[in-house]
Structure 1
Amino acid sequence: MRIERVTLHTAELQYAGDAYAFAGGRSYQQFTSSVVTLATVEGIEGYGEVCPCGPSYMPAFAKGLPACLDQLVPAVLGQDPRQTVAIDDVMEQALCGHAYAKAAIDLACWDLLGKAAGLPVYTLLGGLLNDSMPLHRIVPLADPETMAQTLDTFRAEGYRHFQIKLGHAMPEDRALLRRLATSIQPEETWVGDVNGAWRRDEALRFSRALAELDIYLEQPCADYDACRSVRRHGAHPVKLDESLNTLADVRRAMEDDAMDAMALKVSKFGGLTRSRVIRDLCVDAGIPMTIEDAWGSGIATAAYAHLAASTPTRCLLNTTDLHRYNTTQLAHGAPDVQQGRMTLSERPGLGVEPDLGRLGEPVRQWSV
Structure 2
Amino acid sequence: MYALLAALAGEAERQKRGVRTLLVAPTHGEGREILRTLVRETGGWIGFEVTTVHSVALELVGAELATQGLTILDKFAEQALVDELLDEALAAANGVSNLEELGEGVGFRRAVRKAVSALRFADVTLSRVEGDALPDPAKRALLGGVLARLEDRLARDHLVDTAALLAHATTTLAAGAALPSDAVLLLPGLGTRGLNGRFLAALRKRGASLVPHDPVVGLDPPEGIIWHAADVPPTPLARLHAPTDGGQEPGDPPNLKFFRAAGITEELREVLRRILAAGLRWDEAEIVTPDPSVYGPALHALAAHLDIPVTFAVGLPVKRTRAGRAVSAWFRWVEGGFPESVLRRLLEAGDLVPPHPFRDVDGTRLARRLRRLRIGWGRNRYRAAIDAARRHLELALP
| TM-score, normalized by the shorter chain, greater than 0.5 | no
Larger radius of gyration: 2
Which structure carries more helix by proportion? 2
TM-score computed with the length of structure 1 as normaliser: 0.22
Length-normalised TM-score, structure 2: 0.21
Give the structure with the higher percent strand. 1
Q: Higher relative CO (CA 8 A, sep ≥ 6), structure 1 or 2?
A: 1
